[in-house]
Chains A and B, each alone.
Chain A
Amino acid sequence: MLELKNLSKTYRTGDKALQNVTLTVPKGQVMALIGPSGAGKSTLIRCINRLVEPTSGSVILDGTDVTALGSGALRKMRRKMGMIFQQYALVERLTVMENVLSGRLGYVGFWRSYFRKYPQADVDEAFRLLDRVGLLAMADKRADELSGGQRQRVGIARALIQNPRLLLVDEPTASLDPKTSRQIMRLICELCAERDLAAVINIHDVALAQMFVERIVGLKAGELAFDGKPVEMTEDVLTNIYGEEDWHATIREVDDEDAEAEEPVA
């Protein structure tokens, strides 16, 4: 469904952030992207929806070459790609509801969005999503009144109301405590399963990735360094991607006690 072909990005500073990345993500697959800081994970995700323009190569979503689109068609294409950000990236001074509804901006005209007169179907869907992420009561609160975990849930609702085919998730848990991190990862993966969405998730926390996703791709200095199942993620692979360290504690034991211990979701 998503295909990256020889994707490269060289920044104006000369940094080669991505070099010839070729990758296919099938429908409904949740894929984690790991790698050290500066390996090009954020760049890769932003090249897919062209918040960053790739230097060469192509991004193909459902048979359409995203890199070849003009600005109008690109906007239409972005509706199919929901994005979730590291620092939540909610517009702080807007209400929770406005933030969620802003996911519909690609579908409604300017004046409708300006006067916040969204179609009833959009408003209903926003309420449904807020209820799904457990924040229905917060709809009229300003985004900056929420806690980190709550904000990220709003960010998830905003991405989902776009009715996307693909989720681009940039470090969703980097600013969250360990428990909230797991809840957020679980929520994202559950929602992907419910809606048969593919997802590319940038993540620092290797153990967390192994816990939730079905495929891990490692990026090192802008190049693919690993592509496989979570169980294939060995200490050698980590050493190859990140460099020498004692990885023993990082890799999840097969019978992790947490797996059962934290079943209930808040």
Chain B
Amino acid sequence: MSAVLLEDRLGTTWKKPPLISNPTLRWGLFIAAAVYLVLATASIDVNWSRVAEGLSRGWAFIASFFNPDFVSRGTDIRDGILESVIITVASTVVGILISIPIGLGAARNIAPLPVYLICRGIVALSRALNEIIVAILLVAIFGFGPLAGFLTLSFATIGFLAKLLAEDIEEMDKVQAEAIRATGSTWMQWINYGVQPQVMPRLIGLSMYRLDINFRESAVLGLVGAGGIGATLNTAFDRYEFDTAAAILLIIIVTVMVLEYLSGIIRAKVQ
């Protein structure tokens, strides 16, 4: 080891060391990325005559947004929205209730290893299966209707909330929790006093966020038969009633925006 001499360094330029220090690996990755990009672009196959045909249909769809029809299928829309709201609220509440114990179990710093592995397994399973796929399966089991939608969204909520709650618990301030343990508290008291106050704002914020995701998802799940406003939307598309479809989409957009706004206010309040 030779000591670094100041005289040698003075006057020399200084550059930030590259992220990947091995030059072969660095340039190799650059070239691989470039080759991939070229090949991927070349593989896109556009049927321009089909696009030309479809453009007018797309335009009709967009044009109907300026002329949405809330009235002629008014009852269907109202029932659909009501069903979606019920699915959303019920699945969010049930999902939160189930995800809290699973989230506690999935936090490595408070759960013993076997519990941790089981809870992480549940989270992984819930996150691995896309909502649509779960919905198709549950529609096959329970038949068309809101029950399948409710179960799908509850299941999806568990994976989402339990994972993020567990991560928040893992990042909590250890000393605050340690202080509560030092008083001779039981495990439940320790969670209630040492852990819960630290993660509560995040939990409320995430729950609000999930409520708004669930509403949006309930619209999509209807397309595979899981009830809600999506079913009404699907019917409208099938009948080429773009003006009704536009009305439904506008309602969904406005509702999601309102929910987003509300959840923002609530999150700011609970900090």
Instruction: Spell out A's residues near B (CB within 8 Å).
Output: 49, 51, 75-79, 81, 83, 85-87, 89-94, 98, 102-107, 110, 113-114, 155, 158, 162, 168
- In the complex, B181 has a CB within 8 A of chain A: yes
Q: What are the 7 tightest A-B residue pairs by CB atom distance, in nearest-first order?
A: A106-B184, A78-B184, A105-B185, A89-B179, A93-B197, A79-B184, A83-B182
Number of A-B residue pairs, CB cutoff 8 Å, is 81
B183, B192, B198: residue with the most chain A Cβ atoms closer than 10 Å: B183
Instruction: Spell out B's residues near A (CB within 8 Å).
Output: 173, 175-176, 178-186, 188-190, 192-194, 197-198, 200-201
In the assembly, what is the distance between CA of A90 and CA of B197, in Å?
11
List chain B residues, Cβ under 8 A from A89: 175-176, 178-179
In the assembly, what is the distance between CA of A5 and CA of B183, in Å?
24
In the assembly, what is the distance between CA of A98 and CA of B197, in Å?
11
Q: Are B178 and A75 in contact (CB under 8 A)?
A: no
Q: Can you name 23 A-B residue pairings with CB atoms under 8 Å?
A: A51-B178, A75-B186, A78-B183, A83-B182, A86-B175, A89-B176, A91-B193, A91-B194, A92-B173, A92-B176, A94-B193, A98-B193, A102-B185, A102-B193, A103-B183, A105-B184, A105-B185, A105-B190, A106-B185, A113-B185, A113-B193, A114-B192, A158-B183
Residue of chain A at shortest CB distance from B192: A114
List chain A residues, Cβ under 8 A from B197: 91-94
Task: State whether A106 and B183 are in contact (beta carbons under 8 Å apart), knowing that A51-B178, A94-B193 are contacts in the complex.
Answer: yes
Minimum C-beta distance from B198 to chain A (A): 7
Q: Are A102 and B183 in contact (CB under 8 A)?
A: yes
In the assembly, what is the distance between CA of A81 and CA of B184, in Å?
9
Consensus secondary structure, chain B interface: helix
Q: Are A81 and B182 in contact (CB under 8 A)?
A: yes
Choice from A51, A86, A90, A98 contacting B176 with Cβ under 8 Å:
A90
In the assembly, what is the distance between CA of A103 and CA of B193, in Å?
11
Residue of chain A at shortest CB distance from B174: A89
List chain B residues, Cβ under 8 A from A155: 179
Q: Are B178 and A105 in contact (CB under 8 A)?
A: no
Q: Are B185 and A75 in contact (CB under 8 A)?
A: yes
List chain B residues, Cβ under 8 A from A87: 175
Q: Are A162 and B183 in contact (CB under 8 A)?
A: yes
Task: State whether A79 and B175 are in contact (beta carbons under 8 Å apart), knowing that A91-B198, A93-B198, A113-B189 are contacts in the complex.
Answer: no
Q: Are B184 and A91 in contact (CB under 8 A)?
A: no
Residue of chain B at shortest CB distance from A112: B189
A51, A77, A83, A102: residue with the most chain B Cβ atoms closer than 10 Å: A102
In the assembly, what is the distance between CA of A3 and CA of B173, in Å?
31
Task: State whether A91 and B183 are in contact (beta carbons under 8 Å apart), knowing that A85-B175, A113-B192 are contacts in the complex.
Answer: no
In the assembly, what is the distance between CA of A114 and CA of B191, in Å?
10
A77, A78, A91, A113: residue with the most chain B Cβ atoms closer than 10 Å: A91
List chain A residues, Cβ under 8 A from B188: 110
Q: Are A105 and B198 in contact (CB under 8 A)?
A: no
List chain A residues, Cβ under 8 A from B194: 91
Q: Are B185 and A91 in contact (CB under 8 A)?
A: no
List chain B residues, Cβ under 8 A from A79: 183-184
In the assembly, what is the distance between CA of A104 and CA of B200, in Å?
23
Choice from B175, B176, B193 contacting A105 with Cβ under 8 Å:
B193
In the assembly, what is the distance between CA of A145 and CA of B196, in Å?
19
List chain B residues, Cβ under 8 A from A76: 184
Task: State whether A110 and B186 are in contact (beta carbons under 8 Å apart), knowing that A85-B179, A90-B179 are contacts in the complex.
Answer: yes
In the assembly, what is the distance between CA of A236 and CA of B200, in Å?
52
Minimum C-beta distance from A94 to chain B (A): 5
Residue of chain A at shortest CB distance from B180: A102
Apart from A91-B193, A91-B194: 16 A-B pairs, beta carbons within 8 A: A51-B182, A76-B184, A81-B182, A91-B179, A91-B180, A92-B176, A102-B180, A103-B183, A105-B189, A106-B184, A107-B184, A113-B189, A113-B192, A114-B192, A155-B179, A162-B184
In the assembly, what is the distance between CA of A123 and CA of B201, in Å?
27
